[in-house]
Chains A and B, each alone.
Chain A
Amino acid sequence: MKKSKLSLLLVLSLVLSMFLAACSGGDKNEGKDTGKNEGKDKPVTEESKLADKQELNVFESAEIPTMDSVLGTDVMSFTTLNAVNEGMYRLDQDQKVVPAGAEAMPEYNADKTELTVKLRKDAKWSNGDPVTAHDYVYAWQRAIDPKTASEYGPYFMEGKVKNADAIIAKKDKATAEDIKSLGIVAEDDYTLKITLERPIPYIESFITFQLFYPQNQKYVEAQGKDYAKDAAHILYNGPFKMTKWDGPTATEWVLEKNESYHSAKDVTLTKINFNVSKDPQASANAFTAGEVDITPKLGQAAIISQFEGSKELIQYQEPSLFWIKMNEKNKALKNINIRKAIALSIDKQALVDDVLANGSIAADFLVPKGFAFLDGKDFREGTKPYLAMNKEEAKKLWEKGLSELGVKELALNYVGGDTETSKVSDSFIKNQLETNLPGLKLTIQPVPFKIRIDREQKMDYDLLFTGWGPDYADPMTFMDLMLTGGDHNKMDYSSAEYDKLVRAAQTDLAAKDEERWKALQDAEKILIEDDAAIAPVYQRTVNLLINEKVQGFAHHAFGPDYSYQWIKILK
């Protein structure tokens, strides 16, 4: 009953939004100036152009599950923490890592396994305490302490920060001494020394992550269980402070400018009101009615088309990549010709243009576009498309594969998502595969996200549609996923050559940028073109609506989605 009601609902909401799209088409296209707006604007310098009231209204699509930087695992927490708190470094409007709580970029020892970070002396917590090196040490130790049960603490530090592995291995039995052995010490009140297990080329962007923010030990311990339970139980050291937030279930919260922030003079906004809106069409309606300045991400083509050509529709590619995993435990998928045939036979361009129709781009690669740069050069520059669609070739390989297997037909299951977008795109993929590969019978199994993860980890699938967003600005966040026996491989793929290249990039080549880059590009080619281990499908594009008067909105590729501190509101 519930299910049929829901699917009816989805169909009708589509119809409804098309109807609404038709209604609003007329009055929305007044500004004829098209061209993709990427949300980057010229800086506003003249005070006279600013509106008197520097207050912003923002809709977000979810609540903030936690404001404890050590426990955060989701983008809402990261985005809000990034606004009200601050670590050693932060990402600026151009994704460059810049000093924030630190005075300057870190100094390294000869083999780049030790970083010395000088902290600025004018940074203060909202209770007046100075932000010191001890606050960082405390937060890092708290994050790795198994008693804290932080999810991202071990995930981020294992294999990277000195002694993290040993602490994780001890589980509950880790003593205070063990925790203190973690590779971060305060040399004095304003000097941090961080020791790594191995040199990490992307360490600077890595430690901008919210997990690595400082926490005031005296305050956190005094609050005990109440720490970060609402706006009144948090200390702030960032550009804004939270003045209203009733806790993780709250659907509205307010940020106000933090006057004691060290760079408060660079912050123009005085207040930001946030509300949660989970319905994209309703958010778009509220935007049209002028009740909100920035909407949540709007993925649905039916909604985006209502604002086609509007200056207020902001589009940019985010580094989230989606691909089809092929489980080599299945005898048929162990056959490389079968895998290649599957990868070659999907018309990805038609999928992004006609089915998704939200600006997403077809992907013949694993490391996203516009994400990782070396000396200003995109990782994607100079690489060829791998396994671009080729239906004839696919058919040839398919028949070859079938005869190698000694069968005429093949039945495979395909585990996909249960959202509207994934249902539509999965049906498209099924149609493509079954049409182009005669004898293939695909059974789509749409399941909720958590169940998909479960089936992936238990390797209970033939084909599985999955995606990945980066945790730091380096190709490695994608490239180490398929290592033999790795925790994320889960498809029985194994290539000695690929392993060798990725391992080299993690270790020997860590200090040789150019060679490391080349090794990772070669590894990607082996993974996709030579071995067809995965079939990349598309890279997602973000669509959101921003009031024309709002300038200086910055979006990020990992960690927080956005930064609000450079926003100015024009007259």
Chain B
Amino acid sequence: MAKYLLQRFLYMILTLFIVASITFFLMKLIPGSPFNTFQKLSVAQQNILLEKYGLKDPLPVQYFNYMKNLVKGDLGVSFQFNNTPVTELLGNRIGPSAILGLQAMVLGAIAGIFLGTISALKQNTWIDYGSTFIAVIGKSIPSFIFAGLLQYYIAVKLGWLPVMLWKGPEYTILPTIALAMFPISIAARFMRTEMIDVLGSDYITLAKAKGASFWQISFKHAIRNALIPVVTVMGPLAISLMTGSLVIEKIFGIPGLGEQFVKSIGTNDYPVIMGTNLLFATLFVVIILVVDILYGIIDPRIRISGGKAK
């Protein structure tokens, strides 16, 4: 296990290095400068700024300097947030995005697995049709429509919850629900398909023949096995939820990463583009590792340490 983890860790470093390099050169292909004022400044005035921030250096030199600082843990400073260190910016912004994403993920997973399971168990009944309907709605209608409707009816019309902003637990409810619609539908769809598959397999028939009860079969044998594909899709989905949803964050005025990342690209804020991309990449490789380890726990047939299966 330790050897496996070390090996994975080295691959992770290599992956991140490649991601950083590719992002760096792709990003430099975007035309324009990171300065908002270049429409107004004269060429001489522009050059003072470009030189000060090392943007006139040849690209390989800039790359080398960035990588050197990166190894030291220095991600540079943001242009759009006047000299705020990128680490500070990401640190401030990841919190709300992560909380919101995690809540949406947990709600989505629980509700989705529940819906998927009952529709598989009660196949072709109104319960099945109802939950499939919810799944289709959740998948096909974009989250900002839900966000807009929830905001308008629950907050403005009924006044039950705050319209927007991020000041306490009650402020997280509407955005969490809006964001959870997608994971709910994904989890429900996968769960239903897998459950139906598993329920038709030989060992379930065997369990039935041995006289195991309905609940025993469902919980002990079926659900556990049906979870594997769900875990596979939910891992990467968790990342995309936790790294911020541009639209939901905008509608509910949440100070998260989603909007920031998109804006940093639109404004050529190089250090922020790099920092955010590296953060996303790091989360991704970590989650993939976690998912791989989870497989072993859910399905005893999968052994990550390799070879030594009892």
Cα A279 to Cα B147 with chains together (Å): 12
Cα A451 to Cα B33 with chains together (Å): 8
Cα A91 to Cα B163 with chains together (Å): 35
Cα A288 to Cα B43 with chains together (Å): 47
The B8-64 residues at the A interface (CB cut-off 8 A) are 30-45, 48-49, 51-53
Cα A250 to Cα B81 with chains together (Å): 10
User: How close is B237's CB to chain A, nearest CB, in angstroms?
Assistant: 15
Cα A275 to Cα B164 with chains together (Å): 10
Chain B interface extent, by class? 35 or more
What 0/1 readout, one digit per residue, does chain B (62-100) give for beta carbons within 8 Å of chain A? 000000000000000010111110001100110000000
| Inter-subunit contact B49/A279 (CB<8 Å) | no
Q: Is A12 an interface residue (CB 8 A)?
A: yes
User: How close is A331's CB to chain B, nearest CB, in angstroms?
Assistant: 25
Give the chain A neighbours of B93 by CB distance below 8 A: 249
Q: Is B148 an interface residue (CB 8 A)?
A: yes
Residue of A276, A286, A488 with most partner-chain B CB within 10 A = A286
Q: Is B266 an interface residue (CB 8 A)?
A: yes
| Inter-subunit contact A451/B31 (CB<8 Å) | yes
Give the chain B neighbours of A5 by CB distance below 8 A: 142
Residue of A151, A172, A488 with most partner-chain B CB within 10 A = A151
Stretch touching chain A among B215-223, B246-254, B290-298: B246-254
Given contacts A9-B142, A248-B81, A249-B93, contact A282 B45 (CB under 8 A): no
Give the chain A neighbours of B34 by CB distance below 8 A: 450
Give the chain A neighbours of B266 by CB distance below 8 A: 448-450
Cα A377 to Cα B129 with chains together (Å): 72
| Inter-subunit contact B52/A249 (CB<8 Å) | no
Residue of B32, B36, B88, B149 with most partner-chain A CB within 10 A = B32
Chain A interface extent, by class? 35 or more
Give the chain A neighbours of B148 by CB distance below 8 A: 13, 16-17, 20, 281
Q: Is B151 an interface residue (CB 8 A)?
A: yes
Give the chain A neighbours of B252 by CB distance below 8 A: 282
| Inter-subunit contact B48/A168 (CB<8 Å) | yes
| Inter-subunit contact A74/B36 (CB<8 Å) | yes
Residue of B34, B83, B163 with most partner-chain A CB within 10 A = B163
Give the chain A neighbours of B81 by CB distance below 8 A: 63, 65, 247-249
Cα A67 to Cα B80 with chains together (Å): 13
What 0/1 readout, one digit per residue, does chain A (522-547) give for beta carbons within 8 Å of chain B? 00000000000000000000000000
User: How close is B132's CB to chain A, nearest CB, in angstroms?
Assistant: 23
Q: Is B225 an interface residue (CB 8 A)?
A: no
Stretch touching chain B among A130-138, A152-160, A184-192, A503-511: A152-160
The B229-267 residues at the A interface (CB cut-off 8 A) are 247, 250-253, 255, 259, 266-267
The B128-149 residues at the A interface (CB cut-off 8 A) are 142, 144-145, 148-149
Q: Is B268 an interface residue (CB 8 A)?
A: yes
Q: Which residue of A lies closest to B31 (CB)?
A: A454
Given contacts A23-B152, A73-B36, A289-B155, contact A158 B45 (CB under 8 A): yes
Cα A8 to Cα B45 with chains together (Å): 41
Q: Which residue of B lies closest to A468 (CB)?
A: B39
Q: Is A291 an interface residue (CB 8 A)?
A: yes
Cα A486 to Cα B149 with chains together (Å): 51
| Inter-subunit contact A151/B155 (CB<8 Å) | no
> Which residue in B32, B41, B89, B92 is a CB contact (below 8 Å) of A451?
B32
User: How close is B239's CB to chain A, nearest CB, in angstroms?
Assistant: 16
Cα A148 to Cα B92 with chains together (Å): 27
| Inter-subunit contact B163/A487 (CB<8 Å) | no
Given contacts A20-B148, A168-B45, A291-B162, contact A282 B251 (CB under 8 A): yes
User: How close is B150's CB to chain A, nearest CB, in angstroms?
Assistant: 11
| Inter-subunit contact B32/A146 (CB<8 Å) | no
Cα A450 to Cα B38 with chains together (Å): 8
| Inter-subunit contact B82/A71 (CB<8 Å) | yes
User: How close is B49's CB to chain A, nearest CB, in angstroms?
Assistant: 6
The A152-205 residues at the B interface (CB cut-off 8 A) are 152, 154-155, 158, 168-169, 171-172
Give the chain A neighbours of B251 by CB distance below 8 A: 279, 281-282
| Inter-subunit contact B253/A276 (CB<8 Å) | yes
Cα A171 to Cα B155 with chains together (Å): 55
| Inter-subunit contact B33/A20 (CB<8 Å) | no
> Which residue in A8, A149, A275 is a CB contact (below 8 Å) of B142?
A8
| Inter-subunit contact B250/A279 (CB<8 Å) | yes
Cα A248 to Cα B34 with chains together (Å): 16
Other than the known A63-B81, A282-B253, A453-B32, what 10 A-B pairs have Cβ atoms closer than 8 Å? A8-B142, A13-B144, A66-B82, A277-B164, A281-B148, A289-B159, A448-B32, A450-B34, A450-B36, A454-B38
5 contacts between A and B (CB under 8 A): A73-B37, A149-B53, A249-B255, A285-B164, A291-B163
List the 9 closest pairs (A to B, CB-CB), nearest first: A450-B32, A248-B81, A66-B82, A454-B32, A251-B255, A487-B42, A286-B163, A151-B37, A149-B52
